[in-house]
Amino acid sequence: MSLRRKSCETCFRAKRKCDLEFPRCRRCQRTGKDCHYVRKPAAATDFDSDDKNTENANYSRGGVCTPYLPSFLGPLGEIRPIIGQSRSWSWTVQQFKNLPAQFANNLENIFIRKDLRTMSYAALRTAFALCAAHTATVDSKESTSVRRVIDVEVAHLLASSSNDTLLQDLANLQALVLYQILRLLHGNIDERITAERQEEVMQTLCTRLLTRAESEIGPLQATWEAWVVAENIRRTVMLSYCVYCVYWLDQIGCCPFFPTLKELPVSTRPELWQSEGSSFLPQQDIPLTYEDFSMVWAAAPRRKLSPFEKMILVPCKGLDQVEMYSSEA
C-alpha cells in the first residue's frame, strides 16, 4: 500500500496540522501562502476535536525524498502505520517509553545487546547512569538536574569526532537514541523542541553509521561477531527513526520520513540475537525490508515473536492482529 499524505505542501513542510479545507486551508489563508494539495482532500478534518487529546486519532501518511541506504542492510519496501487504533497506539508509545528504564535495569534492551563491547565505551556507561537517574527521579525535584546533564551529554555526543571507531560510533548513537526517547516521550516542551531541532543531525549520524558498516563489515557479516555488530546497528537505526516517527504522528498526525523508514531492514533470524553463535553461518540471515518482513510474517505459520519483532510489527499491523497471529503453533 502506498503512503499518501493528505496535508497541503505548506503545512507538511512546516510539520503542522492541516485542516484540509479546499482550495486553501485556514493556515494558508491566515498567512497568505500558496496552498497546494498533492490530491484534493475528500473532506476537511476537524483537528480541534476532543479526539486530539486521545490516542486513537487518525494519522495522515507522509512522503518525501530520502537518502540512499547501504545495500548490506536489504532492499527497498513499504510500511503503513496504525491508524485510529487506540490500544495499538497506547501499547506502542508505552513500549518506546520503557526502553531507557529497561536498559537501566538490565544493561540491555531490544537494540542494545549486553555482551557487545559497546558497554566499554564512556557514552553508553554514561547513558546507563543517566537512564537510571531519570527513572529514579522522574517525579522529584532532582529530575531537573538529570535533564540538564542529559542536555550536556547530547551536545557532547553530537559534536563527537568522526575519527571514532565503528563500535564507538554505535555506542554514541545508542546513547543518543536513549536520550531522545527521554526527551521526546518523557520531556517537557523545551526538551521536545530541542530534540526536534536535532532530528536531521540524528538522521545524518544514522546514515554515516550505515555507510561505515557497509565499508567495514561488508554485506555478508561473515562471522558471528560481525553479525552481532551489524544487527545492533540495524536495530539502533530502526529505533532512532521509529521514536521520531511515533513522536511526529502524535504531534502533527504524519511522519515526514516514512519513505526512509520503509527502506530499513529487519533480520529474518531474530532468534540469533539471543544465541551464542557457535554454529552461525552468514547465509542464515538475509534481511528483508520492513514492509516485506510484515508481509512474510502475515503469510507464514503462526509463531512466537521476539520483543523486537512485536515492537516493529504492531505499528504497521495493529496489536490485535499481531497477538492473533503470533501465538505458538
DSSP calls for 160-180: --TTS-HHHHHHHHHHHHHHH
Residue 229 domain-assigned? yes
Q: 20 with 131, same domain?
A: no
Q: Which of 232, 256, 280 is the last residue of a domain?
A: 256
Residue 116 domain-assigned? yes
Q: 89 with 138, same domain?
A: yes
Q: 6 with 131, same domain?
A: no
- Predicted structure pTM score: 0.74
pLDDT at 66 over 80: no
| Selected residue with higher pLDDT from 326 and 137 | 137
Residue 106 domain-assigned? yes
Residues 150 and 275: their CA atoms lie apart, in Å, by: 33
8 Å CB contact between 246 and 96: yes
User: Cα 7 vs. chain centroid, distance in angstroms?
Assistant: 22
Q: 98 with 247, same domain?
A: yes
8 Å CB contact between 288 and 266: yes
Residues 194 and 234: their CA atoms lie apart, in Å, by: 25
Residue 207 domain-assigned? yes
**Domain containing residue 251:** 83-256
> Would you state the torsion angle of the CA atoms of residues 102, 104, 108, 110, taken in this order, to the nearest 10 degrees?
30
At 38, the pLDDT band (50, 70, 90 cuts) reads: low
Residue 302, H or E segment: none
Mean pLDDT of 267-285: 74
What average pLDDT does the chain have?
A: 80
Cell numbers given for 281: 553461518
Q: Where are the beta strands (DSSP E) in the chain?
A: 265-266, 288-289
At 304, the pLDDT band (50, 70, 90 cuts) reads: confident
Q: What is the pLDDT of residue 57?
A: 36
Give DSSP secondary structure letters for 108-138. Answer: -BTTB-TTSGGGGSHHHHHHHHHHHHHHHHT
Q: Which of 205, 226, 256 is the last residue of a domain?
A: 256
Q: 152 with 31, same domain?
A: no
Mean pLDDT of 119-126: 93
Look at 126-135, 153-162, 175-184 and tell me which has the smallest mean pLDDT. Answer: 153-162
**What is the SS3 assignment for 275?**
coil
Q: 132 with 228, same domain?
A: yes
Q: What is the pLDDT of residue 277?
A: 66
Other CB atoms within 10 A of residue 46 CB = 11
8 Å CB contact between 84 and 58: yes
pLDDT > 70 in the chain, percent: 79
Residues 174 and 161: their CA atoms lie apart, in Å, by: 16
In a 13 Å sphere around the CA of 56, the CA atoms on its Cβ side amount to 4
8 Å CB contact between 258 and 61: yes
Residue 281 domain-assigned? no
When divided into structural domains, the chain yields a total of 2
Q: 29 with 90, same domain?
A: no
pLDDT at 187 over 80: yes
Q: 30 with 142, same domain?
A: no
Q: 5 with 91, same domain?
A: no
Residues 312 and 266: their CA atoms lie apart, in Å, by: 9
Tens-place pLDDT, residues 153-168: 999 999 887 678 999 9
pLDDT at 74 over 50: no
At 281, the pLDDT band (50, 70, 90 cuts) reads: low
At 72, the pLDDT band (50, 70, 90 cuts) reads: very low
CATH (domain of 24): 4.10.240.10
| Selected residue with higher pLDDT from 220 and 2 | 220
One-letter identity of residue 292: D
| Selected residue with higher pLDDT from 82 and 108 | 108
Look at 95-109, 122-136, 299-313 and tell me which has the smallest mean pLDDT. Answer: 299-313
Residues 38 and 283: their CA atoms lie apart, in Å, by: 43
At 5, the pLDDT band (50, 70, 90 cuts) reads: low
Q: 154 with 23, same domain?
A: no
Q: What is the pLDDT of residue 39?
A: 67
One-letter identity of residue 299: A
Mean pLDDT of 218-237: 85
Q: What is the pLDDT of residue 208?
A: 92
Mean pLDDT of 260-286: 77
Q: What is the pLDDT of residue 49?
A: 37
8 Å CB contact between 100 and 135: yes
Q: What is the pLDDT of residue 73?
A: 43
